[in-house]
Structure 1
Amino acid sequence: LVDHRYVYRSPRSYNSQLGVPLALLGLNDQHELALIEAGISRTGEMTRLAAMIQPTIGIFTNIGEAHQEGFASREEKLAEKLLLFDNAEHIIYCADQPLVHQQMQRRFSGRLLAWSREQATPVKLRRISQGSGQTTLFVETEKPGAWSFTIPFVDDNSVENAMHACCLLYHLGLAPDEIARRMARLTPVDFRLRLRAGQRDSTLIDDSYSNDLTSLANALNLLDRQGQPDRPRGLILSDLLETGLPDQEWCRRVAAMVRERIQFFVGVGEKLPAISTFLPPELPTFFFPTTADLLQALPELPWPGSLLLVKGARVYQLEQVTNRLARQIHRTELEIHLDRLRHNLAVFQESLAADSSLAVMIKAAAYGSGGPEVARVLAREGVRYLVVAYPDEGRDLRLAGIDHPIFVLNAGPDSYPLLAQYGLEPEVYHWDQLRGLREAGSFAIHLKFDTGMHRLGFRPEEASRLGSWLRDHSGLRVASVMTHLAASEAPEHDAFTHEQVRRFEQAYAALVDRLGYRPIRHVLNSSGILRFPQYHFEMVRLGIGLYGIAPGAAMGPNLQPVLRLQARISQIHAVASGETVGYGRAGRLSRDSRIATLAIGYADGLPRAAGHQRFAVSIHDQPAPIIGAVCMDMCMVDVTDIPTAREGDLAIVFGDQPRVEALARAAGTIPYEILTGLSERVHRIYLQE
């Protein structure tokens, strides 16, 4: 619609109780049409959103499983959603969903514009035809009758979305040939900022989905939060196409946002050179009329070593720039969803006793997700400590600009100078450590008692002696006292868990009696936090639960998976029945099959034990079992039952579905091992709504 009317749209996924009012703030008098997204998670929310939005046209997309825990039934959730349309003049929906169709007819008869594959509706989807990377939809309307349009997608969700859009365009009076022309121009939409490692020591923030003043301000705030003040900051920005403001005015506003925050500016488009009037003359600026011109000039620009924000309207396709500058071009990616990580953190924070706090484990590169990026999020969210396994991990966080308190679980004598240099606090579990640290300087330390895990720690009966020794050596101050529970996730071992805590409390009391002050206590890990609220004490340790993985069933429903591992299809073969696939001819086919080769193998972290049809990846939301043995760099999957699968399509190894827990079960291991085994060559991409 962008060249038909002056259109405003909700930025990204601003569809919540907070997101909708923020989205509405972007409207101005020049806008002719506003596309506002609304979403709910519990009863009572839609009434408030409806009062804010007051829609004249409604589009009902679906009634899926998301947020079902907030409603007694699907019927209740549907009734709540439909409150948005009580005063709408026209409502667009798919009549093939029986529950939705029934309620629409009952509540909104006379105001409906439906489409269907099966029923007689104003817009009828007769059939679809799918080719390489595209789908042609054959529709029939009252006027002019039968016609068709093509979209550059093959998945079912995109077909459904396209039909909703088709109905709206038809309702607004666009001719079928014009609708077809516009549909053909659709491009994939990514609603999230993407943080990527760049070449030559650069960090890229890719935000090329939308380009308006509000989203630019949000992206600049993210740039500010990256820390590392010694690194130059740069901005690559395209013309702003949808502000509703005169060019000089939006240029002035952009200049006001960026002038004190960046060290160089790159503009793409015919209008941005006008911003020079408003920028400091000493700021290096570079302007290019097209993205192609910018790509040609990239080697001469000052991006190496920088924090670089790339922000542009879709038509400029600035993702070409970030793809050119990205450090790794590997067809296997691990997506880290930072908003989901914040959500999971909030789930645990809300469960804590009022006087308790969180120490968060980011050892093993934050369970494979990347330490510095996750650490920045956690520090901003106010956790009490970041916890690493070894001093080198703590040093790397300090060098990345993380100045939050860090304690180290395993610190040997050779690392004591490193601890002092970077302000790291060691866990202490042995007398030799105490003596060595006393000689090395002054430290805050974290004492560990072995109450039954029998891995590391002082014996509880040593507590009084420890307290006396530490009282006499004031250079070592005890910041916290801890133990490690052996089976907090297992109800059958609850009696032993209680016994461990009893031993810990006795040891703590004896220690404090001699020490003369009361350090922080912490005993609980992820699985224990919700199962044993009586033992929250002053702090708990959050680990794998932060990533949406629930060692105990009690926390499962409220957590969201943070990590998604995905690989692309490199090639698809037609293989006859009786032929074999892969090493050792282990994958023998019982039917004529389509076999897809994926760009992921055991060198990337996909376990060999997951082969031989023990595990299935997801392609177009359908299972594709692994055939034969997993290779070092590749694996083969059966896509015979997924006729829409094409070379270049994504295969989800784990994420929402399938879950990493399913992969771990198939491989006979645990999620911890899967995550920490992901290779460094797997490209990490950090996503933020």
Structure 2
Amino acid sequence: MTDLPSSLSAAGWAAPGAGAMLEIDLGAIAANYRLLNARTGQATCAAVVKADAYGLGAHRVGPVLERAGAKVFFVAHLEEGMRLRPHVSATAAIFVLHGPMPGTEAEFTRHALLPVLNSMEQIAGWCGHAAQMGRPLPAALQVDTGMSRFGLSDADVAVLAARPALLDGIGTQLVMSHLACADTPASPANAMQRDRLHAMAARLPAAPLALAASSGIFLGVDYHFNLVRPGAALYGLAPNADGPNPLHPTVRLRARIVQKRTIGAGDGVGYGLTWRAPGPRRIATLGIGYADGFLRQGANNGGCAWLDAYRLPILGRISMDSTTVDVSAVPESVLDQATHVDMIGPRRSVDDVAHSAGTIGYEVLTALGARFHRAYLTQAA
């Protein structure tokens, strides 16, 4: 993977053998962290780098975030934590959201990882491991405040409050939960979950509290508690649809123009010939498809690419390795010189692509495949 200056976008195509190139702006990721950190006041701003830093490469993103000020990281699985550990300092805290699966507890201590304990079974397993180690072991406790996904129930918390010895051997570093409707600021569920976290935490060992992820940060200080844990916002995704996105875009996806041709009225394009030309058209086939993570549904709802200021509608179905676009509006002089087009870029954000595909930006980012040539931009934003 290549380190390139931020002038790459003006310098031309840097991967002659690749069908598409994904530029990842590490400076923009660092700038997003600093922006989010500034919004959180006294709360610690952690960084979520699960799913390989939302598909962008945790081994590159993690160190950049640490240099920007992050001292606490979250991943989903044990293996993600093990892969991240060598790339951040020994003092960085790495929480594993899914907690220890039975029999994996020793791997957590071996790699200096902190489990998020979500169930009574995980608590028992971690306490047993602490007894074997002969010392208390740090962990976070997650409580279910209304999302019905992960965490201790009200009944579980009542048992722990009545029998505090069940937590012997656990050094509670954090009590946390997760908002279900943070991207909808007006939802009454947000305040309900905030209040339930207060109530449930009051029955557990005293510890810092955490509730807000990316969108929750923008709900205001009442949701920040002691720690916030942005993920998608670090990578430029809009926290909600209520206003302009305050975050820096962090990726640019450019696809190679593999072939250009002219078709006539009535000619079909792509599998199933679902699009037919109403008249003569100039079209271009691009070296990117759903095997690269450019979702097959991305042809819907105004799906397009861009060549400079020219919008190029996607025609027909996206194939495994290719996508066809209409270049009829592009002057021949411009098209003759063109080697690539933007699939994600200055005129089309990750969230725009997600809208066309009927999904969310999270899925678009995490789906972007390993087949791209990846170029990391290192100049600070």
CA RMSD between the two structures: 2.5
2:62 aligned with 1:372: no
Q: Distance in 1 between matches of 2:244 and 2:208?
A: 28
Map of 2:147 onto structure 1: 453
Give, in whole Å, the separation in 2 of the partners of 1:206 and 1:662. Answer: 26
- Mapped pair 1:358 → 2:45: yes
TM-superposition CA deviations, 1:439-467 (whole Å, max 9, x none): 22353111011111001111234335425
Task: Flag the 1:587–1:356 CA change in 2: closer, same or farther, 3 A.
Answer: same
Aligned to 2:369: 679
Query: Helix, strand or coil: the match of 2:218?
Result: helix
Alignment of 1:214-225 (within 5 A): none
* Superimposed CA distance per residue, residues 460-494 of structure 1 (whole angstroms, 9 cap, x where no aligned partner): 3433542565556543211100111110121341x
Question: How many Å apart are 1:507 and its aligned residue?
Answer: 1.0
Match of 1:664 among 354, 360, 374: 354
Q: Does 2:311 correspond to 1:617? A: no
Counterpart of 2:239 (choices 545, 551, 560) is 551
Corresponding residue for residue 593 of structure 1: 281
Q: 1:522 aligned to 2:216?
A: no
Q: Does the Cα contact within 8 Å between 2:301 and 2:357 map onto a contact in 1?
A: no
Partner Cα separation in structure 2 for residue 323 and residue 491 of structure 1: 43
Relative distance call for 1:613 and 1:458 in structure 2 (3 A) is closer
Q: In the TM superposition, what whole-angstrom CA distance separates every residue of 1:558-603 from its partner, at most 9, and x where no partner exists?
A: 2111111111111111112221111112221112111111010010
| Paired letter, 1:679 | G
Equivalent residue in structure 1 for 2:257, among 569, 577, 586: 569
Q: CA deviation at 1:535?
A: 2.2
Preserved contact between residue 160 and residue 167 of structure 2 (Cα < 8 Å): no
Give yes or no for the alignment of 1:477 onto 2:171.
yes
Query: For the Cα contact (< 8 Å) 2:116–2:139, is it kept in 1?
Result: yes
Cα deviations by residue, 1:76-119 (Å, 9 ceiling, x for unpaired):
xxxxxxxxxxxxxxxxxxxxxxxxxxxxxxxxxxxxxxxxxxxx
Cα separation, 2, equivalents of 1:657 and 1:414: 49
User: Partner residue of 2:133?
Assistant: none
Aligned pairs (5 A) from 1:155-194 = none
- Offset, 1:641: 0.4
TM-superposition CA deviations, 1:480-524 (whole Å, max 9, x none): 00111110121341x22111111110111121xxx3xx3110011
Within the alignment, does 1:444 sit opposite 2:138 as a pair?
yes
Q: Does 1:499 align with 2:192?
A: yes
SS at match of 1:645: helix
Is the partner of 2:228 in helix, strand or coil? strand
From 315, 318, 325, the counterpart of 1:630: 318
Taking the aligned partners of 1:668 and 1:208, their CA distance within structure 2 comes to 31
Change (3 A) 1:679 1:323: closer
Shift of 1:618: 0.7
Structure 2 residue 122 is the aligned partner of structure 1 residue 433: yes
Query: What is the aligned partner in structure 1 of residue 72 from structure 2?
Result: 385
What is the 5 A alignment of 1:115-126?
none
Structure 1 contact 613–628 (Cα < 8 Å) conserved: no
- Separation of aligned partners in 2, 1:549 and 1:207: 23
Residue range with higher mean Cα deviation, 435-444 or 339-348: 435-444
The alignment's TM-score, normalised by the length of structure 2, stands at 0.89
**Pairwise CA distance, 1:397:** 1.1
The question of whether the paired residues in 2 share the 8 Å contact of 1:356 and 1:537 is answered with: yes
Q: Matches of 1:659 and 1:583 in 2, distance apart?
A: 27
- How far apart, CA to CA, are the structure 2 residues paired with 1:459 and 1:209? 52
Is the CA contact 1:460–1:503 (under 8 Å) kept in the aligned structure 2? no
Q: Which amino acid aligns with 1:388?
A: V
Whether contact under 8 Å (2:265, 2:279) holds in the other structure is yes
Determine what percentage of the aligned residue pairs are the same residue.
Answer: 33
Pair 1:538–1:555, CA change in 2 (3 A): farther
Structure 1 residue matching 2:110: 3-state secondary structure: helix
Shift of 1:378: 1.0
- Assess if the C-alpha contact under 8 Å between 2:160 and 2:166 holds in 1: no
Question: Counterpart of 2:369 in structure 1: which amino acid?
Answer: S
Q: CA deviation at 1:209?
A: 7.9
Bigger shift: 558-567 or 630-639?
Answer: 558-567
Aligned counterparts of 2:375 and 2:163: Cα–Cα separation in 1: 48
Aligned match of 1:394 = 81
Instruction: Indicate whether 1:405 and 2:98 are aligned.
Output: no
Alignment partner, residue 112 of structure 2: 423
Q: Would the aligned equivalents of 1:419 and 1:425 in 2 still touch at CA under 8 Å?
A: yes
Structure 2 residue 201 is matched with structure 1 residue 508: yes
**Farther-moved stretch of structure 1 (554-563 vs 406-415):** 554-563
Deviation, 1:665, is 1.1
- Structure 2 gaps of 5+ residues are 131-135
Q: Residue 264 of structure 2 contacts residue 280 of structure 2 at CA under 8 Å; is this kept in 1?
A: yes
Output the CA distance in 1 between the equivalents of 2:300 and 2:355. 14
Whether the 8 Å contact between 1:531 and 1:554 is mirrored in structure 2 is no
**Secondary structure of 1:675's partner?**
helix
Quickly say closer, same or farther: Cα 1:602–1:557, change in 2 above 3 A: closer
CA distance in 2, matches of 1:613, 1:570: 24
Whole-angstrom CA distance in 2 between matches of 1:463 and 1:507: 7
User: Is 1:405–1:424's contact at 8 Å kept on the other side of the alignment?
Assistant: yes
Deviation of 1:532 (Å): 2.6
Counterparts of 1:426 and 1:598, CA distance in 2:
44
Does the aligned pair in 2 maintain the 1:369–1:684 contact within 8 Å? no
CA distance in 1, matches of 2:266, 2:244: 43
Measured in 1, the distance between the counterparts of 2:52 and 2:272 equals 35
Give yes or no for contact 1:372–1:402 (8 Å, CA) kept in 2.
no
Of stretches 572-581 and 640-649 in structure 1, the one that deviates more from structure 2 is 640-649
SS at match of 1:497: helix
Asked if 1:466 corresponds to 2:164, the answer is no
Equivalent pair of 2:3/2:377 in contact (CA under 8 Å): no
Say how many residue pairs are matched. Answer: 368
After TM superposition, give the deviation of residue 621 of structure 1 in Å: 2.4
Q: Tell me by how many angstroms 1:389 deviates.
A: 0.6
Distance 1:619 1:399 in 2: 40
Q: Which amino acid aligns with 1:606?
A: F
Task: Tell me how far apart the structure 1 counterparts of residues 88 and 290 of structure 2 sit (CA, whole Å).
Answer: 33
Does the residue aligned with 1:531 lie in a helix, a strand or coil?
Answer: coil
CA contact (8 A) 1:572 1:646 kept: no
> Aligned letter for 2:231?
G
Identify the match of residue 487 of structure 1 among 181, 195, 209: 181
2 CA distance for matches of 1:577 and 1:437? 68
- Mean CA deviation greater in 465-474 or 484-493: 465-474
- Counterparts of 2:213 and 2:282, CA distance in 1: 45
| Kept in 2: contact 1:626–1:638 (CA 8 A) | yes
